[in-house]
Amino acid sequence: MTITVDGAGSKINVVGALDSGMEAAALLADLQHLPILTRHLELVFFDALTLPASVLEAIAKIKLSGIQVKITVYSNYLAHYLMRLGITAKCIHSVEERKQLTDIQAIALCGSAESLDKIFTIVEKLPPAEVAVFIVQHILADSDNLLDQLLKVRTSCYRIEMPTNLQPIKAGTIYIAPADHHMKVANGLVYLTHDRKNHLARPSINVLFESLAYAYGPHALAVLLCGMGDDGVEGTRLLSERGAFVIVEDSNDCHMARLLTDAAVQNGKFAHVLNLQEICSFIGSALNRGGKQASPPLVELFLEAVYARYDYDYRGYQEGTLERRIKNSMLLLHIEDFFEFQRQVLTDPEIFRRFFLEMSIEITSFFRHPEQMRLLRDEVLPYLESFPNLRIWSAGCASGEEVFSLAIMLDELGLFDKARIFATDINPYALNQAQAGLFPLDKLEENRANYLKSGGIRCFDDYVENNGLYLKMSDRLRARILFHQHSLVQDGVFNEFELIICRNVMIYFKPALQQKVMLRFEKSLHPEGFLVLGTQEGLLSSGSEQRFSEYKSKSRIYRWRH
């Protein structure tokens, strides 16, 4: 992190995530030593997505002292968080100029050793389109090329041809280079020649690439897959120079046969180096240019690529949820078509982070669904009082309102000191907000009302400090809560709990993913414990209805069947 302060001390620029205690301490030192006569302070956060509680409280103290504070951020996520806390911030959106992909008329899939299975996978996932596909794979001169027969059983969207010389090129057709013949294209025809070998290869990838460069130029998309040698490297340069979109497979996909892709990365010219799942997503969305909203199969390819690249798995989310979140992400990024969106997400970790934040569900409030919370207070928690230690898991806790609601109820029932609340969420930035314990002041009346409806016996205000900008939870409540990043989709069981609460999370998952998450809960729930789901959720689609019974009708609180 870098902090720069102007000569007058009235402007502080913060470059970096501001996600460590030392960084926060450095900024606090500058905030606490403002010049005595300072009446205006400008803060610029270039990279931060959230701010530590200590920094937020220091900013609030400065504002409340009468100093005018102007804050500029480059993250919509941080701007929204600050505004929730009554701290106005201006968000600057940067839009980069990028080379636009033109309509694709020809695709080349080329490789040598270890490329056959990659070709199978790409062809199987090719969406139907008015495009010609050309395949060159190095094979021995005296071998029979059976690739046409192997591909015919893998796609019904394209005709498969082992072409003859001067055969007309037709869209919707895959052309495979025969053994011991170069294949090139020109004048709308496929040419087969027995010219000398190119880089020890016939058929040669270079020969096809060079002909595509002149015949199709910016309307060509070429993929160089695993292999030995360097045939194809020169061709990537000419293709790129003539405006084609060139992809080189990531050598980490190639095991032993990585010489070709390594040579292309070192000496070729290309747009991106991608793994196999990303290549499938790129090609699929490239053939859907002009489509502002991707079809479910294209979204599926994109999510496979996201999982392969970043190890975050959204494949089991409901289609409606995915459609809304992708659309919102594209709007925030000022991107108009799906190809460019998936391209940026898959090749720019910062853009993926913005997509990740948009995919994180953070709809919550204090004592949400007070009727259900009242049942917890009056019957469930008193039943659990007999346990010597009470372990509670709030799964998908978002920004923390539900967790602190539980803490308040435990305190009023005299169970707080023997309880331990584990609060988890996939979003580390939401967890930082929850751990800070700072909440919007404009929700105070709603919080008071829901607290009373859920059976509160004191006053909600007893648990918060109101500084005129936001509400701060008491340190005593925060001390019994452990916040931890955890994915319900990918991470395993980490304890046994007497009470598990996961509300309004599974509603966004498809049935198969709901079943997977429920298995995690089943392995984590004490035999005498309780499972609480959201009021719009249930067990029918998760497959667990045979193992659980509802505590009370329509309560969405469940126990093991005995």
Compute CA distances 67 → 8, 64, 88, whole Å: 15, 7, 14
| Cα gap 293→330, rounded to integer Å | 10
Long-range contacts of 148-151 (CB under 8 A, 24+ apart): 148/176, 150/120, 151/119, 151/120, 151/123, 151/176
Quick one: pLDDT at residue 31? 87
Could you check whether 106-284 and 370-560 share the same CATH topology? Answer: yes
Sign of CA dihedral 18, 22, 25, 27: negative
Residues 511-556 have pLDDT tens digits of: 999 999 999 999 999 999 999 999 888 786 666 777 889 999 999 9
With tokens 């079809």, the residue in question is 295
| Cα gap 98→145, rounded to integer Å | 40
Cβ atoms of 426 and 488 closer than 8 Å: yes
| Cα gap 301→339, rounded to integer Å | 12
Quick one: pLDDT at residue 7? 60
Whether domain 106-284 has CATH 3.40.50.180: yes
Q: So where are the chain's domains?
A: 2-91, 106-284, 289-359, 370-560
pLDDT at 247 exceeding the cut of 70: yes
Specify the CATH architecture of the domain 370-560: 3-Layer(aba) Sandwich (3.40)
Phi, psi of 92, deg, nearest 5:
-105, 125
Which comes out higher in pLDDT, residue 38 or 403?
403
Question: pTM for this one?
Answer: 0.85
pLDDT at 507 exceeding the cut of 80: yes
Strand, helix or coil at 351?
A: helix
Residues 6+ apart with CB under 8 A from 256: 113, 114
Long-range contacts of 321-329 (CB under 8 A, 24+ apart): 321/508, 323/293, 323/299, 325/358, 325/359, 326/293, 326/294, 326/299, 327/293, 328/358, 329/354, 329/355, 329/358
Rounded mean pLDDT of 139-158?
Answer: 89
Max intra-chain CA distance, the chain: 90
Residues 387-439 have pLDDT tens digits of: 999 999 999 999 999 999 999 999 999 999 999 999 999 999 999 999 999 99
Give the up-direction half-sphere exposure of residue 116: CA atoms within 13 A in the CB hemisphere: 9
Residues 6+ apart with CB under 8 A from 114: 225, 226, 227, 254, 255, 256, 257
For the record, the structure tokens of 408 come out as 């308040």
Amino acid found at 222: A
Residues 255-277 have pLDDT tens digits of: 899 999 999 999 999 999 999 99
Quick one: pLDDT at residue 290? 64
Count of beta carbons in the 10 Å neighbourhood of residue 183: 25
Quick one: pLDDT at residue 547? 86
Cβ atoms of 220 and 211 closer than 8 Å: no
b/e sequence 112-151, b meaning 16+ C-beta within 10 Å: bbbbbebbbebbebbbebebbbbbbbbbeeeeebebbeeb
